[in-house]
Amino acid sequence: MTARHAEADEETPLLRSDSHGHPKRKHAPIPWAQFSILLVLQLAEPLTSQVIYPFAPELIRNIGITHGDETRVGYYVGVMQSIFFATQAMTVMHWSRISDHIGRKPVIMVGLMGLSLSMYCFGLSRTFWGLVISRSLNGALNGNIGVMKSMLAEITDPSNIAQAYAYLPIAWSTGATLGPIIGGSLSRPAERYPNVFGGIEFLKQYPYFLACAIPATFSAVACFVTLFFLKETVKNPLSLRQILRLSPKEAAVERDGSQVAKNPVVDDSSRPLPLRQLLVPRVIIAAGNYAFLAIVDITLRAIQPVIGLIMSLYGIVNGITQIFLFGRIHDRFGTKRVYIAGIASVLPVFGLFPVINELARVEGLSSTVWALTIGQALLSIIISFSYGCVFIFITASSPNKASLGSVNGIAQMLVSIMRAVGPAAANSLFSLSIDKDHHYMGGYFVYVALSALVCAAPWVATFLPDRTASDEPQIEPEESS
């Protein structure tokens, strides 16, 4: 067997045909022990970022920053919500690049401890600037999302990466669901549950501390889980002593020193590349598509009505489809087709908003309106398939394995920017649409504008490669003579 064939045999799965002649891929088993830990760690960011949403307006009123002007509450709530992603955008790429040198575990632990301390501080804040500083630290110290995706790619291979990435949206949506539940049920506990917390003066003085303390404590526990149970995936990471002694350029060389001793010829694939060498078309295209996906998704969630029963149904169906269908659909149609179909599915979702609104005006909350609303929520599940696909594209775009953290950091930086500006942009368009002086397009201008954004996303996706390593069949090895 030749070396080239041996390498292909090791890295790519064998494609077989089922009874219908469709490709049936042989998957390597997912390393569940480490994979499960990463999924649990993923909960920390959505928990800490979403927990404040239920009590944020009340908190803004209580600290007195609006001076009784109710019209300014929304503005300050928006600032407080967006600042997490704004500060994350400024630091996430740097954390990811650092993880390429010192290893994934130290960066993840710093991020988790940063989330924990900043949430405790948020619960103890009694001024608007205290909230801003705490929220800024929350985002700035949290570079974990890109690092964890890099780690996930490093513990999987092209045969099972699609199945592994299918679970990431579930982890995020679980945290995003539990966060508001915690924030809504545990804020002002002394008033809500006087028999349990009524005698605790501290909780009367800091009524939002308990709600913040739950995700903060979870993050702290997750930090120790990382320390004792998560295995490092970066080979020969630099020690703290080396980091303090060397410049970044020297650190990259030093990191490969042990490899040079073992092998006189060091492949560039073992060395993290400088940032300028990562800003190549394939990385920019993959990261740009992730940004488009994020802005489409977050604007949809910003204007979509939150109805408890429907969102619960959405969460259950989304989890089932991701686990049992995404891998099969990906293997059948390929990464690019599934990605484009997923993001294009949002177009009818936006189109249903005016239809449901007009029917509700005529029929009220009739069975037809409820059926269309439920159908719209279930249709919006399809975009979740695009996340698994775009993660595969980002992983495949990395010039070498040693720079995977940096590539994920670039992509996550763009996404954080979109998540910072997306909700404000969607709400501004909505306000402009229903403005009583103009009432653009009968109040439906927001849906037309966002539909145009969705139409642009598939065009941007055409620049993605047609196939990735997870799509490629394995060539049967030939026996060497």
**CATH code, domain carrying 371:** 1.20.1250.20
Q: Does some domain include residue 3?
A: no
pLDDT band at 315 (very low <50, low <70, confident <90, very high): confident
Q: Does some domain include residue 472?
A: no
Same structural domain, 71 and 152:
yes
Q: Does some domain include residue 243?
A: no
Q: Does some domain include residue 227?
A: yes
Give the residue from 185, 211, 234 where a domain finishes.
234
Same structural domain, 215 and 281:
no
Residue 319 backbone zone (phi > 0: left; psi -120 to 50: alpha; other: beta): alpha
Same structural domain, 332 and 216:
no
- The span from the CA of 12 to the CA of 32, in Å, is 20
Same structural domain, 222 and 286:
no
User: Which tops the pLDDT comparison, 425 or 261?
Assistant: 425
3-state SS of the chain is CCHHHHHHHHHCCCEEECCCCCEEECCCCCCHHHHHHHHHHHCHHHHHHHCCCCCHHHHHHHHCCCCCCHHHHHHHHHHHHHHHHHHHHHHHHHHHHHHHHHCHHHHHHHHHHHHHHHHHHHHHCCCHHHHHHHHHHHHHCCCHHHHHHHHHHHHCCCCCHHHHHCCHHHHHHHHHHHHHHHHHHHCCHHHHCHHHHCCCHHHHHCCCHHHHHHHHHHHHHHHHHHHHHCCCCCCCCCCHHHHHHCCHHHHHHHHCHHHHHHCCCCCHHHCCCCHHHHCCHHHHHHHHHHHHHHHHHHHHHHHCCCCHHHHHHHHHHHHHHHHHCHHHHHHHHCHHHHHHHHHHCHHHHHHHHHHHHHHHHHHCCCHHHHHHHHHHHHHCCCHHHHHHHHHHHHHHHCCCHHHHHHHHHHHHHHHHHHHHHHHHHHHHHHHHHCCCCCCHHHHCHHHHHHHHHHHHHHHHHCCCCCCCCCCCCCCCCCCCC
- Which pLDDT belongs to residue 346? 93
Range of the domain at 137: 30-234
Section 160-186 average pLDDT:
86
Local structure of residue 70 (DSSP, 8 states): G
Per-residue pLDDT of 194-213, as tens digits, reads 998 988 899 999 999 999 99
Same structural domain, 212 and 290:
no
Q: Does some domain include residue 473?
A: no
Give the residue from 169, 202, 234 where a domain finishes.
234
- Which pLDDT belongs to residue 432? 76
Same structural domain, 192 and 332:
no
Same structural domain, 281 and 381:
yes
Total domain count, the chain: 2
96: pLDDT strictly greater than 80: yes
pLDDT band at 13 (very low <50, low <70, confident <90, very high): very low
338: pLDDT strictly greater than 70: yes
User: Which tops the pLDDT comparison, 65 or 259?
Assistant: 65
- What percent of the chain is predicted at pLDDT more than 90? 40
Per-residue pLDDT of 48-63, as tens digits, reads 888 988 888 899 888 8
4: pLDDT strictly greater than 60: no
Section 139-149 average pLDDT:
86
Average pLDDT across the chain, whole number: 82
pLDDT band at 316 (very low <50, low <70, confident <90, very high): confident
- Which pLDDT belongs to residue 216? 96
Per-residue pLDDT of 270-304, as tens digits, reads 678 888 889 999 999 999 999 999 999 888 877 77
User: For the chain, first and last CA: distance in Å?
Assistant: 8
Per-residue pLDDT of 97-123, as tens digits, reads 999 989 999 999 999 999 999 999 999
Same structural domain, 228 and 284:
no
Q: Does some domain include residue 443?
A: yes
Q: Does some domain include residue 16?
A: no
Residue identified by tokens 């929220």 is: 135
373: pLDDT strictly greater than 80: yes
Same structural domain, 281 and 215:
no
Q: Does some domain include residue 330?
A: yes
3-state SS of 416-464 is HHHHHHHHHHHHHHHHHHCCCCCCHHHHCHHHHHHHHHHHHHHHHHCCC
- Which pLDDT belongs to residue 240? 61
Give the residue from 177, 212, 234 where a domain finishes.
234
- Which pLDDT belongs to residue 285? 96
Please say whether the beta carbons of 454 and 343 come within 8 A. Answer: yes
Same structural domain, 75 and 160:
yes
Weakest-pLDDT range from 11-15, 187-191, 406-410, 463-467: 11-15
- Which pLDDT belongs to residue 247? 54
Same structural domain, 56 and 183:
yes
362: pLDDT strictly greater than 90: no
Same structural domain, 159 and 297:
no
Section 344-364 average pLDDT:
89
